[in-house]
Structure 1
Amino acid sequence: MEAGEDEGFVEKIIEVHGIRKSFKKRKTKEIITAVNDVSFDVHRGEVLGLLGPNGAGKTSTIKMICGLLQADEGSIHINGLDIQKRRLKALKHISAVLEGNRNLYWRLTVRENLEYFAGNRGLSRKEVAAQIEKLLSQFHLKDKENELVNGLSRGMQQKLAIAVALLANTEVILLDEPTLGLDVEISYELREILKTIVKEEKRTIIISSHDMPVVQELCDRTIIINKGTVVVDERVENLLKLFETRAYSIKLGDALSEAQQLKLQRKFPLSTYKVGTHQTTVEVNLEHSEDIYELFDIFKEEGTQVESIDRITIDFEQVFMEIVKGEKNYAMA
């Protein structure tokens, strides 16, 4: 699986093809399929969001890419290397910071951790000296460089873990829930640091996160896994544009009757209905343009007046929730 040589071809650095993974429940011995025929590619230099609700199969997929789990079926290639046949060589091309499993030694200082893990990759202190200084400054860790890791805050530990992953100089970096459990200020700071790294270094980065601003601000493309399968593989900007054209806020002159509310929820299950002091507002996503007529029929049947209709500015969290919880299949228009 060599890289393509045609002009304009975007090289694939990770290829996931038809992977499956099942587990046996301890008590009942029931076989549970966590990942079911998942396929996708990651292109060199892109920032990919790998998302999914809890229990969707996302974590198992991540662990298979990192070599921590072996797929029952299918294949994973990293930089053209089959991870099952040439595991060690394939994994030299990827570094990861996994949730709850930070790549740090707690009894070493910040600087010692950076030097130690660089040495594990065969790099001398002299070779990485300038890069360590840059990372200490970039992650705002310079004043903590001689402190033991076990004395650092969770946010400082997470920043150091990501710095260690960057220092490995691998082509691919996988960040699993990089802002999980961090306070708002540190989460924002880390997001800004990652934005700078994405802009300056052009590395391939896979981000798994429930922090949707991270996905919206950093990722070029997103893959959403639900119930063990890929349900979306699309550029973030395209998803936002698509859902913006469907999301409307409608102000009404009267309250809706119980019968109207029931019909609204039956036809548009993700709609919301708010009664204010002076007006009623319905927020609804229209999957098809002709759905507007059915919506207005609900208002018309009891003479409910429509005072205004506006498109809603949507964020990626709304997109994600509609895709994983919506009753209708997602499809690009």
Structure 2
Amino acid sequence: MERETIIEVKDIVKSYKKRKSKEIVHAVKGVSFNVYKGEILGLLGPNGAGKTTTIKTICGLLKQNEGSVYINGQNVQDNRLKALRHISAVLEGNRNLYWRHTVQENMEYFAGNRGRGRKDAQEDIGKLLTQFRLLDKKNELVSSLSRGMQQKLAIAVAMLADSEVILLDEPTLGLDVETGYEVRELLKDIVRDQEKTIIISTHDMPVVQDLCERTVIINEGKVIADEKVSRLIDLFETRAYSIKLGEPLSELQQQAVKHTFPIYQIHDDQLDVTLEQEDDIYELMDILKKEKTRIEKIDRTTVDFEQVFMELVREEEPRHAASTSN
């Protein structure tokens, strides 16, 4: 059964000129992906990869040079107000809030921003404060709350709009383990019980592995992966080996490994390597055989999503370097 698309990003390109040097920066270079109704999507990328520019373009905060963004069938550029009714965003975490006002006052203010009267919004405000365990804090100043409570309030504020899509930038940044777990469970409940779609931008890879069914990874302004998280982990696990050697590799062998396998680690008599293709294992055996290096043990390596992310980004860097040098 084909899933229903709620956001469609089509070939967006965004360049800008640096103020001082006047250098042209190509931040996004033809990014395309879909977001499906009812999923939690991880939108990831290293710093400077074009991820933030993509997010701001989706939210209508930046205008792309080329391409288009559709939210629930509405073109963000042509029908900005209609399109943005379907999405709420928390782009700077607790910095979105008014710290000198109370929890209740923040909720009422942002409800008013969405055109809702104070009386009309009270029932929903009460439900959200209860759901996010903030009801007993409603008369406290935001500045007096813990970082975790501020983060929960920022998400509750986004929920007030009752939009189909919620975009969260670093929702667990700076939280302790217990509060981070609580926020993740709240987000799961929101998707399951209220049929919302959530886009998460984060550097916290365990959050992605726990929450996200699928991830889009952007690097050097392009999409380098658009796949289910479980599929990426399985793919890398089938290619990752840990080899216990009878003696350390020679200098010549180390150079051969470095030249042949972009992703590897050598620790004395231990070699960890990720193959680009399964058949590359035979090339590795040839390198070891040339100097009759003994192999004492070979194991497949268990990987987590943080390793997958780092390896995908590393794999892309040599390609980018080669393309820019030509």
- TM-score, length of structure 2 as denominator length: 0.91
With over 3 angstroms needed to count, the CA separation of the structure-2 counterparts of 1:69 and 1:294, relative to structure 1, is same
Q: Which deviates further from its counterpart, 128-137 or 138-147?
A: 128-137
Match of 1:64 among 57, 60, 68: 57
1:168 match: secondary structure: coil
Secondary structure at 2:21 match in 1? coil
What residue in structure 2 maps to residue 267 of structure 1? 260
Q: CA deviation at 1:36?
A: 1.1
Secondary structure class of the residue paired with 1:271: strand
2:295 partner amino acid: V
Residues 1:317 and 2:310 are matched in the alignment:
no
2:94–2:154 Cα contact (<8 Å) kept: no
Displacement of 1:187 in angstroms is 2.6
Please, which of 269, 274, 286 is the counterpart of residue 297 of structure 1?
Answer: 286
Please list every run of 5 or more consecutive structure 1 residues that lacks an aligned counterpart in the other structure.
1-7
1:269-317 deviation line (CA, Å, top 9, x unaligned):
2111123xxxx32111111111111111222222221111111111111
* Structure 2 residue corresponding to 1:75, chosen from 68, 91, 97: 68
> Which residue pairs with 1:4 in the alignment?
none
Q: Select 1:143's aligned residue among 136, 155, 159.
A: 136
1:125 Cα deviation after fit: 5.3
Q: When the two structures are superposed, what TM-score results if normalisation uses the length of structure 1?
A: 0.89
Number of corresponding residues: 318
Q: Does residue 288 of the first structure (1) align with residue 277 of the second (2)?
A: yes
Could you tell me whether the CA contact under 8 Å between 2:232 and 2:308 is conserved in 1? Answer: yes
Q: How far off its partner does 1:101 sit?
A: 6.9
Match for residue 172 of structure 1 among 155, 158, 165: 165
Residue aligned with 1:135, SS: helix
Tell me which moved more, 31-40 or 149-158.
149-158
- 1:128-207 correspondence runs (5 A): 128-207=121-200
In structure 1, distance between residues paired with 2:191 and 2:6: 17
Q: Residues of 2 paired with 1:254 and 1:93: CA distance? A: 61
Instruction: Determine helix, strand or coil for the equivalent of 2:263.
Output: coil
Q: What's the counterpart of residue 308 of structure 1? A: 297
Who is 2:45 aligned against? 52
Map of 2:231 onto structure 1:
238
The letter of the residue matching 1:225 is I
Aligned CA-pair RMSD:
2.0
**Distance (Å, rounded) in 1 between the aligned partners of 2:272 and 2:127:** 47
Deviates more, 1:77-86 or 1:255-264: 255-264
Q: Structure 1, residues 32-62: CA drift from partner, whole Å, max 9, x if none?
A: 1111111111111111111111111110010
- Pairs within 5 Å for 1:202-241: 202-241=195-234
Corresponding letter in the other structure for 1:181: G
Mapped to 1, the partners of 2:195 and 2:24 lie a distance apart of: 41
State the Cα distance separating 1:141 from its structure 2 match: 2.2
Report the counterpart of residue 22 of structure 1 in structure 2.
Answer: 15
Do the aligned partners of 1:103 and 1:164 also contact (CA within 8 Å) in 2?
A: no
Judging changes above 3 Å, is the alpha-carbon distance between structure 1 residues 125 and 100 closer, same or farther for their aligned structure 2 residues? closer
Question: Is the contact made by 1:95 and 1:165 (CA closer than 8 Å) also made in structure 2?
Answer: yes
Does the 8 A contact of 1:99 with 1:178 survive in 2?
no
Instruction: Give the match for residue 253 of structure 1.
Output: 246
2:148–2:175 contact (8 Å) kept in structure 1: yes
| Counterpart for residue 97 of structure 2 | 104
CA deviations over 1:128-161 (Å, ceiling 9, x no partner): 5454344334333233222101222222211110
Bigger helix share: 2
Task: Give 1:258 deviation, angstroms.
Answer: 1.9
| Alpha-carbon distance change, 62 to 253 in structure 1, aligned in 2, over 3 angstroms | same
- State whether residues 221 and 233 of structure 1, in contact with CA within 8 Å, keep that contact through their aligned partners in structure 2: yes
Identity of aligned residues (%): 65
